């Protein structure tokens, strides 16, 4: 495309504008009322630009939230693995707590959760596209800890993940307590007591 000096940078700018518009609109009007037309108008692009990259409204909205949850600098979703499960989980949970306490993150995720609760189809999409890949990354770290003898071999890792993350999620959702580094540490300590080898 010789007409544009740097088409890939221009494309990336459009893509980011579309993802930001989708996030903003879900926060403002709810998932049910977000249209491709509204996303295109907000992002300052044509509908055809959106359809070049995504096949549906659901696909673009989920990429918008996925971008928010991804690990920085394209490092994928792998959790840190220094060989010390306690140190690694405290690092991850402190970062997760800070993320949930950050207004820029928590607004859109709160809006997404409102929609998920009352929409079983959206809940299924959320599980498949957002929660499941993250859970796989977390379980890979727990399996590594099992191999290192730091977590009991027979532990149900799906249940273990709920034990580690659901308390934070509920506290954030219901605003029922402070979200602090101390809270993250206490949660990891209690979690490790539940899953460590006998």
Which residues in this chain contact a second copy in the complex, by CB under 8 A? Answer: 110-111, 113-114, 116-118, 120, 123-124, 126-127, 131, 156, 158-160, 162-163, 165-167, 169-171, 173-177, 183, 186-187, 190-191, 193-195
What is the smallest separation between the CB atom of 3 and a second copy, expressed in angstroms?
46
What is the smallest separation between the CB atom of 100 and a second copy, expressed in angstroms?
13
Question: What distance in Å separates the CA atoms of residue 193 and residue 198, rounded to the nearest whole number?
Answer: 10
- Of the pair 42, 171, the CB lying nearest a second copy is at 171
Distance in angstroms between the alpha carbons of the first and the last residue of the chain: 63
- Of the pair 12, 189, the CB lying nearest a second copy is at 189
Q: Where are the alpha helices (DSSP H) in the chain?
A: 7-29, 36-43, 47-53, 57-69, 85-100, 103-118, 120-125, 132-147, 157-173, 181-195
Question: What distance in Å separates the CA atoms of residue 130 and residue 133, rounded to the nearest whole number?
Answer: 6
- Of the pair 30, 70, the CB lying nearest a second copy is at 30
Q: Coil, strand or helix: which one is 51? A: helix
- Of the pair 36, 123, the CB lying nearest a second copy is at 123
What is the smallest separation between the CB atom of 150 and a second copy, expressed in angstroms?
15
What is the smallest separation between the CB atom of 94 and a second copy, expressed in angstroms?
16
């Amino acid at each position: 495309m010789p007409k544009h000096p740097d088409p890939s940078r221009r494309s990336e700018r459009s893509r980011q504008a579309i993802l930001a518009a989708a996030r903003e609109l879900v926060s403002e009007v709810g998932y049910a009322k977000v249209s491709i037309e509204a996303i295109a108008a907000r992002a300052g692009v044509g509908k055809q630009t959106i359809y070049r990259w995504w096949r549906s409204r659901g696909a673009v909205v989920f990429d918008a939230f996925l971008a928010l949850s991804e690990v920085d600098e394209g490092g994928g979703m792998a959790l840190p693995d220094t060989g010390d499960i306690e140190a690694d989980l405290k690092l991850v949970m402190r970062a997760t707590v800070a993320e949930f306490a950050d207004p820029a993150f928590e607004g859109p995720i709160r809006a997404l959760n409102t929609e998920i609760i009352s929409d079983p189809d959206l809940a299924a999409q959320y599980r498949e596209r957002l929660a499941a890949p993250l859970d796989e990354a977390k379980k890979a770290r727990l399996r590594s800890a099992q191999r290192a003898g730091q977590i009991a071999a027979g532990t149900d890792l799906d249940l273990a993940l709920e034990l580690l993350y659901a308390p934070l999620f509920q506290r954030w959702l219901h605003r029922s307590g402070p979200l602090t580094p101390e809270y993250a540490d206490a949660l990891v300590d209690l979690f490790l007591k539940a899953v460590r080898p006998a």
